Chain A
Amino acid sequence: MIEQNFSLLLVVIPLIAAPVVAMLPNGRLPWLLVLVVTWLCLALASWQLSVVSDGDIISYELGGWAPPWGIEYRIDAMNAFVALMVSGIAAITVPYALRSVEKEIPRQQISLFYSAFLLCLVGLLGVAQTGDVFNLFVFLEISSLSSYILIAMGRERRALTAAYQYLVMGTIGATFLLIGIGLLYAETGTLNMLDLHQRLEPIIDHRTVHTGFAFIIVGIALKLALFPLHLWVPNAYKYAPSAISVFLAATATKVAVYIMLRMVFTVFSSDFVRTTPTHLIFLMLGIFGVVFASIIAIFQTDAKRLLAYSSVAQVSYMVLGMGLASALGVTATLIHMFNHALMKGALFMAIGAMVYRVGISRLEELNGLGRQMPWTFAAFFIAGLSLIGVPGTAGFISKWYLVLAALEQQSWFIALVIILGSLLSVVYLWKVVEVLWFYPATESGLSVKEAPVSLLVPMWALIFANIYFGINTELTVNVADTAVKLLGIPPYHE
């Protein structure tokens, strides 16, 4: 009984804390409250996951209205997994944010900044918790609107145009999603995901249902930065304050991947994906995304933009897993979602620490900085290994599952693309490593000191998570397995 209330508290606590934080005086007090709230959320999310990890389900009826009429929070292993990922990254980002935000955000905006951060967290957690498609749209927009604000708070004026561009594309995506939800509602008269699934089954061939599906897919694809719709990502991640680059790169697109999984496999079904060209579209865009985004990343001259393009490529791996539409493929998607949050969070933290010292993320300004900041450089290096997929790191586990899923279907080509993507990531990460370690430092670069401890500790916490989840895969693989079983995706067979 009590856990049902906890699943709601996970959304309500940050929601109530956000306006309180906005009213606190600028300084360290807002930060302290946000720290307490995020760690409380992390505790609730871990507890929630421990309850549902063996296949149980928590169902909470908002306002006491029974589903399908009322809004239902239905927590299964996948919801809890995503909620844990989001609250975990938030809990690690906030200690990192203290010094970095004091340096990058004007003092009179600090409490508003943290308030917007909490609202973004509310939105992402809400998306992860809810079992109602319209509620999901509202939470998605809460998180998107607050992330536009957070990106616009970057120091350079181009942060404003980056946020504007993201706002335009994000709103188009959300409106597409809204159209799709409306069309499904017109056909079925329900908004509850499970109820939608049952009611869609007899009318799955209707043209309205197909149109609604197409609108939903395109809308979410904009939010998750699927390859040809990724144009908002590089600038948004580059010009955002460092702490926000970390948080958004690690969570926002991953939550969109989760929405895609829910819509495609819970509301519709894996049969629908296989009988329509959906899986081919996913595979094609995934392959293009992995190859082209990695190649574009090689030619970037800015470390944050390079990592942003790498994010686009990594998200394409997750879409590839969905396109395989088998139990193993979707397991790989879920594991990669979690692991990618760990490695991309660590990479952005390392670059953010350098930005903290030198104020700029252009590669030519970072010459030789790795030798001045050995701990930051080491963190970047290990997280990079994880991104490439070297055995012993988290990245290896997810790539391994993805390759297995491709080989299971005799898709040699896809397995080759996955490996090619890894090789390309060696190239673009080596470019950064070369600049950081082998180039001679500039005059001003020689006086740069190691990053402060409050930046290094969260960074290394993520590095240890990368190694831990690369060796002990019990949590990630088991939860992903349970989640995929509950999604009802059958193993691949001829």
Chain B
Amino acid sequence: MGTSFRKPVAPSADKRWKIVEASMRRLGNQSHALIEALHTVQEAFGFLDADSLRFVATSLRVPLSQAFGVATFYHYFTMKPPGRHTCVVCTGTACYIKGAGKLLTDMEKQYGIKPGETTADGNVSLLTARCLGACGLAPAVVFDGQVAGKVNSADMLAKAGRWGQ
């Protein structure tokens, strides 16, 4: 006890760590900045890994176990790098009633992956969302960040097909 706190060094010279440091500094490098910091890391790098968790935990002086606990508790955080393209099928109630289940199985069949997985070539990730809140447009699918409404299987597979091999 009593030893002075030494600021940890960022895992690499990557400039994006500056953004992460700034977000933690904005909240006074206090422990409650943990979720905000993890959001910033994921936004900058696309996912969380051991290095980033260790860096954030040390900077905010929280145990690594707590950072890992938070990162795995919340669905929004992912510890796997996403594919080049993402297809998010909404599985909210309205979408479910209007056939989101079939959309999901059709994607699974076409690409041989389950929700949360990425094709072996790293091209396409299949994800699900609890509810996009686009219930008026059910069933909804997000292709690379673009929400599409009233989607049917043929449209969906055609759109994903254009992402190439």
Chains A and B form a bound pair: no
